[in-house]
Amino acid sequence: MSTEQPVGRHGARRTVMIAAFEGWNDAGGAASSAIEHLTEVWGASLHSELDPEDFHDFQVNRPMVGPGPDGRRIIAWPTTTISVAELPERRVVLVHGIEPSFRWRAFCAEILDAAEELGVSTVVTLGALLADVPHTRPIPMSASTESEGLQAVLDVEPSTYEGPTGIVGVLQHEAAARDLQAVSLWAAVPHYVANPPSPKATLAILARIEELLATPVPLGDLPEDAEAWQAGVDELAGEDAEIAEYVAQLEEAKDAVELPEASGEAIAREFERYLRRRDPGAGPDKRGGQPEL
């Protein structure tokens, strides 16, 4: 692992790592786009990079050649970056890369070694999956954790999934094995609009992160991008009667299972986010709700 900017521990405040990886875990590019957005709006600085030679098949994820900052041609290798954002209330470590081809346990060990070096107490992994959900409704979000403490404070159920897993699942498991708190957030992307970008799903992920960290996330142009994305899909659906009928069926199924209580909880969460944007110090932990991660 090469290091550009070493950063010491912060003993006075909790440090959270948020990780997302392009590939199998990243439908519509929603999860990796969330990390890229956080890196930009929080002004994160590069801490280190993993050596891609150890983890990637370059015939699957090829290096890119092009001009560098000085005009000379360079080769950009598909690597995993670890960046650090210093926020007023906490430090956030942001991990962004491509799902590796080889040596997954060693890959996770390098990331978690960096987490321990930086004083990380909680690891949040992000993912996105394709699902039978309508693009016209809020993007469904799910969360899971193996930590009994987090299950209680976040009202999250342990995962009951059985089957093939990706690097997100392995990293979450390995983090828990090191006695780190670990939680995984997943967005459900409409399968009939699977190609990236998926700004509405990215927005849903960021809203959940904001909720978990009790820290406002500047959204920039994302709300407008999400509206434009939905309008574009509306237009495409309007041109195809079969797709329009299918979307209507998904809407009907979704609305049938949405209880009034669920809608009330969504309104309450949105109001809490509004309060945080007005007063960043008024997180849920200071109003008798969710404690800080």
Structural domain harbouring 273:
240-278
CA distance 122 to 17: 6
Same domain, 204 and 160: yes
Please write the tens of the pLDDT for every residue from 41-92. 999 999 999 999 999 999 999 999 999 888 899 999 999 999 999 998 899 9
Q: What percent of the chain has pLDDT over 90?
A: 68
75 and 170 inside one domain: yes
**Exposed/middle/buried for residue 152 (C-beta within 10 Å: 0-12, 13-18, 19+):** exposed
| Domain annotation covers residue 172 | yes
Range 7-12, long-range pairs (CB < 8 A, 24+ positions): 7/47, 7/84, 7/118, 9/117, 9/118, 9/119, 10/91, 10/119, 11/119
Here the CATH number for the domain that contains residue 38 is: 3.40.50.10900
Are 49 and 142 found together in one domain?
A: yes
Q: What is the mean pLDDT of residues 222-235?
A: 96
**Per-residue pLDDT, 288:** 42
* Residue 286: inside a domain: no
The answer on 152 and 99 residing in a single domain is yes
Q: How many domains does the chain have?
A: 2
Note the pLDDT tens digit of each residue in 194-208: 999 999 999 999 999
The pLDDT of residue 292 is above 60? no
> Tell me, what's the pLDDT at 276?
58
Q: 148 pLDDT band (50/70/90 cuts)? A: confident
So what's the pLDDT on residue 94? 98
Question: CA-CA distances (angstroms) from residue 4 to 1, 45, 52?
Answer: 10, 9, 16
CA distance 104 to 256: 41
Residue found by looking up tokens 């909720």 in the block: 211
Domain assignment present for 82: yes
User: Is-contact 157 126, C-beta < 8 A?
Assistant: no
Q: Report the predicted TM-score, pTM, of the whole model to 2 decimal places.
A: 0.84
Residue 292 falls inside a structural domain: no
Same domain, 39 and 158: yes
- Residue 54 domain-assigned? yes
| Whether residue 91 is found in the same domain as residue 211 | yes
Q: Looking at the structure, do residues 165 and 215 belong to the same domain, yes or no? A: yes
- Is position 159 within any domain? yes
Q: Are residues 248 and 176 in the same domain?
A: no
For residue range 254-289, list pLDDT tens digits in order. 888 765 555 555 556 656 656 655 565 554 444 344
Q: Using 50, 70 and 90 to split pLDDT, how confident is the model at 8?
A: very low
Q: Quick check: 9 pLDDT over 50?
A: no
Residue 288 lies in a domain: no
The DSSP call for residue 89 is S
**Would you state the pLDDT for residue 19?**
98
Task: Give pLDDT, residue 225.
Answer: 97
The pLDDT value recorded for residue 150 is 80
Q: Which among 262, 152, 138, 275 is positioned nearest to 211, based on CA atoms? A: 275
Do 80 and 203 fall into the same domain? yes
Same-domain check for residues 35 and 144: yes
pLDDT tens-place string over residues 90-127: 999 999 999 999 999 999 999 999 999 999 999 999 99
- Residue 153's pLDDT is 76
- Evaluate whether 27 touches 186 at the Cβ level (below 8 Å): no
**Do 103 and 194 share a structural domain?**
yes
Look at residue 4 and tell me if it is in a domain. no
Taking only the tens place, the pLDDT of each residue in 150-182 is: 877 777 778 788 899 999 999 999 999 999 999
- d(C-alpha 233, C-alpha 171), whole Å: 34
Around Cβ 185, how many Cβ atoms within 10 Å? 26
Q: What is the C-alpha end-to-end distance of the chain, expressed in Å?
A: 27
